[in-house]
A and B are shown apart, each in its own frame.
Chain A
Amino acid sequence: MTELLTVDDLTVEFTRGGAAVRPVRGVSLTVAPGEIVGVVGETGCGKTLTGLSVLGLLPPGARASGSVRLDGREIIGAPPSVLRDLRGRQVAMVFQNPGTAFDPVRTIGAQFDRVIRAHRGGSRGRAREHAERLLRDVELADTGRVLRAYPHQLSGGMLQRAMIALALSCDPRLIIADEATSALDVTVAQQVRRLLLRLQSERGFGVLFVTHNLAEAYDLCDRVYVLYAGQVAETGPTAEVFDAPAHPYTRALLDALPRADRAGTTLTALPGTVPSSVLAVTGCVFANRCPRAEETCEHSPPPPAAVTASRTAACHFADTGGPA
C-alpha cells in the first residue's frame, strides 16, 4: 500500500533550562489515502507536536529529527516555499479551538478569500462562490450571513464547521484534526464528527485524528496509535486494540473509562504520573505505573513488537489474545 503519510522515528526536542527535553521520541505512524487514523493518549504525551510536525509548523525552538513524508515528499528540513505549497493544498489542519483559530478582526468571508486566493488565485467573486459552496457542504445554510460575520458573532459549532470548510478549500489529501471537537458541546461535537465522516467518505481524504477522547477515537478511526510519554505504546485496528488491548497502558486507559456494560464496577484511575525526566528512564517508561511490571522492565526498554499481523505493542509482556 502506498501511504499518504509516513512518519518514521520522529523525535521532537526542545532545550529547557539548559537541558534537552523530548516530548516526542521515535514516533512512527502511517496514514493511507482515505484512512482515518487516531492518535490518542493523556495530556502532554506529544499528540499535538506530532500533528504539527506533519505541517512543518513546530513552535519556535523545537528541533525535529527522523522523517515525515507526505505523499513521498520529506517535510522535515524542507524549505519554507515547499512547506507553504503543501500546507492548505496537501495537508490542512482543523484546530481545537475554533473561537480563536479565526482572526478576530476580519470577517469569515475575508479569511476564506485570503486562503482561497493565496492558493488558487482568481477573482474575489470566484473565491466567494467557492467559499459559499464549501459552507453549504459543511451544512451551514445562511452562507451570506456567515461570510459577513466576524468570528465572535458565530457559535462554536458554526465556527468549527466553517473551519472544516476552510481546511477543505484547496482539496487537501490529508486533514489533521487536533482535538477538533473537544471545545464543543456533546451534541454539537457529535454533529461535527458525523460531518467529518460524511465529508471523508465523499472526498476520500485521509485524516490524522488527534484526541484524548477514547470513545471518539473508537467511533471514528480505522486504526489508532496509543501514545505514552512521547512514544507509541500500541497500535492496530481500533476495534481490535480497544476490544483486546495488548499493552498494559492501553488497558489501564480503557479501565479508567466509565462503561455502560460495566456499570457499578469501580472506576480505576491510573495511579502515578509520567516520570518527570523520561530521558533518565533506562527501561520501560511506563514501568513506574504498570501493574504488570517485572524486573526486566526496569532495565531494558521494550521495542515495538508485532502482536498480530496488523498490531504492535511496545511491551515485554504484551497480551496476544483474550478478551478485555
Chain B
Amino acid sequence: MTPGAMPRFLLRRAGTALLVMLGTTFVTFLLARVVPANPAVSYLGPKARPDEIARIEAQLGLDQPLPYQYGRYLWDLLRGDWGTSIGTKLPVTDEMFGRLPATLELLLIAMLLACLIGVALGVVAAARQNRFLDHLIRLLAIGGVSVPAFWLGLLLQVFVFGGLGLFELTGRLDPDLEFTDPLREITGFHLVDALLTGHLTALSDAAAHLVLPALTLAAYPIGVIARMTRASMLEILAADHIRAARAYGLRERIVHWRIALRGALPPTTTVAGLTLAYSLTGTFFVEVVFNWPGLGLFASTALLNMDYPVIMGITLFGAAGYVLVNLIVDLVQARLDPRVRLS
C-alpha cells in the first residue's frame, strides 16, 4: 500500500464536499432573496408601513447589491448566525439542534433496520434464486420501493396499530410520562437517554413509538438494499473464487454469509448510503404522518407559514447531511474494497 493514499483520497473527497455545500448556499440564498416577496415584509407582516420596511431592509442589508448580500449571508452562516425563525422568533440554529436528535434517532433506527433486513433478504433471495422465497422477496422489494411513504405509513397505522393494537401511533413518548415519571434528556435520543438513566418504561415506550415510523421510513431502503444485495450476491456466487471455496470444502453458510456477502458489501454500502441520503427527504413525510417532532415536521410547518429563514436553514442542513453521508460512504467503500483503496 502506498503511504498517504488514504489521506489524499480523503482530501479529494472533502474538497468536493465543500464545493457542493458552497453551491447549496448559493441556491438557498437565491431562493430566499430573489424568489419570494420582500423578506422585510415577511418579517413585519402585511400591514407594515413603507418607512418601517425601508428601515428593516437597511438593517437586513437588503438595499445592498446581491453579491454583497451573498457574501454577508455566507459570513453569517459561518459565524453560526442562521437567522431567526419568523414563526417562533427564536434562532434557527437553536430550533434545528433542538429537533435534530428526534430526526436522527428515527433515521438511524430506520437505516439500521433497512440494512439488517435488506441485506438478509437479499442474501436469502440469492441463495434461493428463482425459487418461491426469491420470488416473494423480490415482490416485497418492489413493494418497498414503489409504495409512497405516507401511504405505507397510513396502512401501518390502520392495520398494525388499529387492527392488531401493536406499537404506538404518533409522537415519540407517551405524554403521560411527562407527568408521572419524566425522562431526563441527556443526548436527546430517547432510547439512549432511557438506557443511560435506567428508565425502562420510557425505553419500551420510546421503542414502541419508533417501530412504525422507522419501518415506514425503512421500506424504500429495504427494497433497494435487498435488490442490490441479491444482484451482487448472484454475480459473486457465479465467480471462480466461490467455486474454489466450495472445492476446498467450506460450508454453504460460510460461502454465502461470509465470502459472497463480504464481496457484495461494497456495492451494497454505496446503495445503502445513497438511499440514506434519499431518506432524508422521506423523514419529511414520515414525521408528518406520525406526528414525529423532528426537523421534517418543523420544516413542513415552516413551509406552510413561509418561514424563510427556517426553510433555508433546513435545506442547508439537509444538504450538509447528504454530503456528509456520501463522504462517509466513500470512506467506508474504500475500507471495504482493497482495490478501490489501493488504486
B245→A103 contact, CB < 8 A? yes
A84→B251 contact, CB < 8 A? yes
- On chain A, the residues within 8 Å of B259 by CB distance are 103, 106
Number of interface residues of B (CB under 8 A): 24
Give CA–CA (A93, B336) in the complex, Å.
28
- On chain B, the residues within 8 Å of A97 by CB distance are 240
- On chain A, the residues within 8 Å of B339 by CB distance are 104-105, 150, 152
| Stretch in A113-121, A199-207, A248-256 with 4+ CB within 8 Å of B | A113-121
- On chain B, the residues within 8 Å of A93 by CB distance are 244, 247-248
- On chain A, the residues within 8 Å of B243 by CB distance are 57, 95, 101
Name the interface residues of B222-275: CB closer than 8 Å to any CB of A.
239-241, 243-252, 254, 258-259, 262-263, 266
Give CA–CA (A104, B241) in the complex, Å.
8
The verdict on A104 contacting B248 (CB below 8 Å), with A57-B243, A152-B339 known, is no
B337 within 8 A of A: yes
- On chain B, the residues within 8 Å of A64 by CB distance are none
A63 within 8 A of B: no
- Across chains A and B, the number of contacting residue pairs, with CB separation under 8 Å, is 79
B240→A85 contact, CB < 8 A? no
A87 within 8 A of B: yes
B248→A101 contact, CB < 8 A? no
Min CB distance A138 to B, Å, is 16
Name the interface residues of A22-71: CB closer than 8 Å to any CB of B.
55, 57
Name the interface residues of A141-174: CB closer than 8 Å to any CB of B.
150, 152-153, 166-167, 170
B247→A55 contact, CB < 8 A? yes
Main SS at interface, chain B:
helix
Give CA–CA (A152, B249) in the complex, Å.
24
B163 within 8 A of A: no
Min CB distance B250 to A, Å, is 6
- On chain B, the residues within 8 Å of A166 by CB distance are 248
Give CA–CA (A135, B219) in the complex, Å.
49
B246→A101 contact, CB < 8 A? no
Min CB distance B48 to A, Å, is 64
B244→A104 contact, CB < 8 A? no
A105→B248 contact, CB < 8 A? no
B338 within 8 A of A: yes
- On chain A, the residues within 8 Å of B250 by CB distance are 84, 114-115, 118
Number of interface residues of A (CB under 8 A): 31
- On chain B, the residues within 8 Å of A95 by CB distance are 240, 243-244, 247
Name the interface residues of A90-144: CB closer than 8 Å to any CB of B.
92-93, 95, 97, 100-106, 114-115, 118-119
A84→B249 contact, CB < 8 A? yes
- On chain B, the residues within 8 Å of A80 by CB distance are 252
Min CB distance A225 to B, Å, is 21
- On chain B, the residues within 8 Å of A103 by CB distance are 241, 245, 259, 262-263
B240→A101 contact, CB < 8 A? yes
Min CB distance A86 to B, Å, is 7
Residue in A85, A87, A104 whose CB lies within 8 Å of B263:
A104
Residue in A88, A100, A150 whose CB lies within 8 Å of B248:
A88
Give CA–CA (A102, B337) in the complex, Å.
14
A57→B338 contact, CB < 8 A? no
Give CA–CA (A92, B243) in the complex, Å.
12
The verdict on A85 contacting B249 (CB below 8 Å), with A97-B240, A150-B338 known, is yes
The verdict on A101 contacting B251 (CB below 8 Å), with A57-B246, A106-B262, A150-B338 known, is no
The verdict on A114 contacting B254 (CB below 8 Å), with A84-B249, A87-B246, A87-B248 known, is yes
B251→A118 contact, CB < 8 A? yes
Residue of A nearest to B246 (CB): A57
- On chain A, the residues within 8 Å of B251 by CB distance are 84, 118
Give CA–CA (A105, B269) in the complex, Å.
15
B262→A105 contact, CB < 8 A? yes
- On chain A, the residues within 8 Å of B342 by CB distance are 150, 152-153
Residue in B241, B258, B266 whose CB lies within 8 Å of A102:
B241
Give CA–CA (A320, B114) in the complex, Å.
71
- On chain B, the residues within 8 Å of A118 by CB distance are 248-251, 254
- On chain B, the residues within 8 Å of A57 by CB distance are 243, 246-247
A100→B249 contact, CB < 8 A? no
Min CB distance B131 to A, Å, is 12
Interface centre among B240, B252, B263, B336 (most CB of A within 10 A): B240
Scan B303-343; emit 1 where CB is below 8 A from any A CB, else 0: 00000000000000000000000000000000011110010
Min CB distance B272 to A, Å, is 17
- Residue pairs across A and B with Cβ atoms less than 8 A apart, 7 shown, are A57-B243, A57-B247, A93-B248, A97-B240, A105-B266, A150-B342, A152-B342
Sort A-B residue pairs by CB-CB distance and give the 4 closest, nearest first.
Answer: A88-B249, A87-B249, A100-B240, A101-B244
Interface residues of A (CB under 8 A from B): 55, 57, 80, 83-89, 92-93, 95, 97, 100-106, 114-115, 118-119, 150, 152-153, 166-167, 170
Beyond A86-B249, A87-B246, A102-B241, 4 additional contacts (C-beta under 8 Å) are A97-B240, A103-B245, A105-B266, A152-B339
Interface residues of B (CB under 8 A from A): 239-241, 243-252, 254, 258-259, 262-263, 266, 336-339, 342
